[in-house]
Amino acid sequence: MTEQCPIDPQSYDFYQSLRHRLREWLNTRNGSAGRWAEYLMLAPDLFHLLCKLSIDNEVPVKERIKLGAAIAYFVSPFDLVPEALVGVIGFADDIALAAYVLNSLVNTCNPDILKRHWAGDRDVLELIQRILRSGDRMGRTGVLGKGVWKKVKRMYK
């Protein structure tokens, strides 16, 4: 089991708010039956990981800039699938972008850095790969839409 990381005060409010919002959604008929609920529930822990990595001096500056951009995307009300308009499902694009950024970090840094900061209870490296593989299915099934998934990929590259 991965050691739990304390949440820094700057990200605490957004993290807690997001976690609360997702838990409430899971208790609804749409949430509990949603085929993407498992992925959407990763949003708070992915956000936390982005925040922790962005201030870790072992992470190269170039990667920390990408992490900062992903954090800004998470908290911005203006993104490809706005949560204010579509509800919790709007975090699907945020999760996809986070996975792309974190995958880049895995390819340029020691993966143990991610494991050290991961607050979730499953293997973070495996989850990142699962999210990336699921992105195409999310596009095909309409959760993200093919156009949105392609834009998320392009934004990162």
Please write the tens of the pLDDT for every residue from 72-101: 988 888 777 666 566 777 788 889 899 999
Domain count across the chain = 1
The per-residue pLDDT for 8 is 53
The per-residue pLDDT for 54 is 97
The per-residue pLDDT for 4 is 45
Question: Does residue 76 belong to any structural domain of this protein?
Answer: yes
Question: Does residue 60 belong to any structural domain of this protein?
Answer: yes
φ/ψ region of 87 (left if φ > 0, alpha if ψ in -120 to 50, else beta) reads left
Question: Does residue 77 belong to any structural domain of this protein?
Answer: yes
Question: Does residue 2 belong to any structural domain of this protein?
Answer: no
Q: Give the model's confidence band at 2: pLDDT under 50 very low, under 70 low, under 90 confident, else very high.
A: very low
Question: Does residue 150 belong to any structural domain of this protein?
Answer: yes
What's the predicted TM-score (pTM) here?
0.75
The per-residue pLDDT for 23 is 76
Q: Give the model's confidence band at 148: pLDDT under 50 very low, under 70 low, under 90 confident, else very high.
A: low
Question: Does residue 3 belong to any structural domain of this protein?
Answer: no
Question: Does residue 4 belong to any structural domain of this protein?
Answer: no
Please write the tens of the pLDDT for every residue from 33-76: 466 777 888 888 999 999 999 999 999 999 999 999 999 988 88
What domain range is 113 assigned to? 9-156
State both tokens at 94: 């945020």
Question: Does residue 70 belong to any structural domain of this protein?
Answer: yes
Task: Give 153's contacts (C-beta < 8 A, 6+ positions apart).
Answer: 100, 135
